[in-house]
């Protein structure tokens, strides 16, 4: 593939399957062209600001058993925790006081009415303590429509639910075959969230065993078809205490999984100009500056972990998950410096909702 051919693809507004495949196969030089183009689109459509979402990992208790995930219910090596309401509240206040416009509440999947009520109460308390100024994102798995509504009515704005792999056959290789891990139900959940009124986020893992470039092309087309407001894509990182670990010899080297993720981010930025896209923590697990590289490829969101330090060790979705304390003022400064070094600024005190959502709600 010649430089001119890549250039002519990059100047298009939308890509065919073949063009997407070509872009995913870009060599280093061509990738740089791809990132430059993505950067231009990003500047024009979402600007040069990076928004922080303080991530609070409420609990690592999960009823599901995804084959790739370190905190799956069958992993008995995990010390299960649930942080107290006071701890959640003080993490939220930390984020708010440091000018993070938003927080994200994340936990393993739980569907008891006790859990639903607890989140409802927490949303109320957080909004009261922060004058309703924080944009609150939920990442709490598949729930009933009534639950989505209840949380939305308490002021949650956004919901993240990754499809993980949009190809049905690949999805089936990553999950147990039962109704708790049903592909169609997950898609339905995404539609339900949108109908309730949330800004909806989804995304996939990149570099999974059994995953081909064709699958990644499917993912790119699927995300466009779903008209998502937010996307989170990260490299798959193996975890020794999971069933998928047995296929580790099929994997691309970690660095290549990272590069492929950057290409996915850049391509999607060009194709879905005004969405929010996160520079995921999993990138950082592979390379210390992975997140900054994602910003340069078109991502515009960072989720600094503000979970109390004592629990960090136990939210191990994958190996090498960074454990250092993001939740101190110094770290916010360091992170800001790295954002500025990468050529951007931090959107302090702003929720930073995706222009895409505003556009589609008009
Ligand atoms: N590698 C990378 N990402 C993972 N996740 C779970 N397990 C892994 C892993 N082994 C991601 C999933 C999930 C998010 C919370 O973490 O995409 O949606
Ligand atoms: Fe639970 Fe999410 Fe891990 Fe699946 S990926 S086991 S739902 S925490």
Instruction: Express each pLDDT in 321-360 by its tens digit.
Output: 876 655 566 788 999 999 999 999 999 999 999 999 999 9
Instruction: Give the ligand 1 atom nearest the CA of 232.
Output: 17
Please give the share of the chain, as a percent, with pLDDT higher than 90: 91
The whole-number average pLDDT for the span 224-247 is: 98
Confidence at residue 324, expressed as pLDDT on a 0 to 100 scale: 60
Residue found under tokens 């139900």: 185
The protein residue with its alpha carbon nearest to ligand 1, atom 7, reads 69
Centroid of ligand 2 to alpha carbon of 304 (angstroms): 20
Ligand 2, pocket-test mutation among 57, 109, 202, 205, most atoms within 8 A of CB: 109
* CB half-sphere exposure, 92, CA atoms < 13 A: 28
Instruction: Give the ligand 1 atom nearest the CA of 235.
Output: 2
Nearest Cα residue to 57 out of 235, 275, 232, 310: 310
- The verdict on the CB of residue 244 being under 6 Å from ligand 2 is no
Please give the share of the chain, as a percent, with pLDDT higher than 70: 98
Both structure tokens of 76: 């008995």
Lowest average pLDDT, out of 4-8, 59-63, 158-162, 250-254, goes to: 4-8
pTM of the full predicted structure?
Answer: 0.97
Class of residue 352 by CB neighbours under 10 A (exposed 0-12, middle 13-18, buried 19+)? buried
Instruction: Express each pLDDT in 11-22 by its tens digit.
Output: 998 999 999 999
Q: What is the mean pLDDT of the chain?
A: 95
- The verdict on the CB of residue 57 being under 6 Å from ligand 1 is no
> For residues 64 and 109, is the Cβ–Cβ distance under 8 A?
yes
The protein residue with its alpha carbon nearest to ligand 2, atom 4, reads 66
Confidence at residue 100, expressed as pLDDT on a 0 to 100 scale: 96
Lowest average pLDDT, out of 136-150, 207-221, 305-319, 321-335, goes to: 321-335
Instruction: Express each pLDDT in 145-179 by its tens digit.
Output: 999 999 999 999 999 999 999 999 999 999 999 99
Is the pLDDT at 267 greater than 90, yes or no? Answer: yes
Is the pLDDT at 304 greater than 70, yes or no? Answer: yes
Centroid of ligand 2 to alpha carbon of 120 (angstroms): 21
Centroid of ligand 1 to alpha carbon of 40 (angstroms): 29
């Amino acid at each position: 593939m010649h430089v001119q051919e890549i250039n002519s693809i990059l100047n298009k507004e939308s890509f065919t399957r073949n063009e997407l495949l070509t872009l995913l196969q870009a060599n280093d030089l061509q990738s740089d062209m791809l990132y430059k183009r993505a950067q231009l689109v990003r500047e024009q459509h979402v600007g040069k600001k990076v928004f922080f979402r303080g991530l609070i990992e409420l609990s690592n208790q999960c009823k599901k058993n995804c084959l790739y995930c370190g905190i799956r219910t069958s992993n008995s090596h995990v010390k299960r925790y649930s942080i107290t309401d006071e701890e959640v509240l003080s993490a939220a206040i930390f984020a708010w006081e440091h000018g993070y416009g938003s927080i994200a509440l994340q936990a393993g999947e739980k569907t008891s009415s006790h859990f639903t009520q607890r989140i409802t109460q927490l949303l109320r308390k957080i909004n009261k303590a922060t004058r309703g100024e924080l944009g609150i994102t939920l990442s709490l798995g598949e729930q009933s429509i009534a639950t989505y509504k209840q949380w939305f009515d308490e002021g949650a704005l956004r919901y993240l639910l990754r499809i993980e792999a949009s190809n049905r056959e690949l999805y089936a290789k990553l999950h147990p075959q039962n109704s708790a891990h049903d592909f169609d139900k997950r898609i339905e959940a995404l539609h339900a969230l949108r109908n309730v009124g949330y800004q909806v986020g989804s995304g996939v893992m990149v570099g999974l065993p059994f995953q081909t470039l064709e699958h990644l092309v499917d993912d790119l087309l699927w995300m466009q078809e779903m008209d998502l407001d937010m996307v989170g894509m990260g490299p798959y990182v193996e975890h020794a205490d999971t069933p998928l670990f047995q296929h580790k010899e099929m994997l691309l080297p970690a660095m290549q999984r990272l590069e492929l993720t950057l290409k996915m981010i850049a391509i999607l930025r060009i194709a879905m100009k005004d969405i929010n896209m996160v520079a995921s923590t999993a990138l950082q697990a592979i390379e210390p500056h992975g997140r900054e590289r994602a910003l340069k490829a078109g991502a515009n969101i960072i989720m600094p972990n503000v979970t109390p330090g004592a629990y960090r060790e136990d939210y191990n979705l994958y190996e090498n998950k960074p454990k250092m304390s993001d939740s101190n003022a110094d770290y916010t400064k360091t992170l800001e410096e790295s954002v500025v070094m990468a050529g951007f600024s931090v959107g302090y005190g702003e929720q930073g909702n995706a222009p895409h959502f505003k556009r589609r709600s008009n």
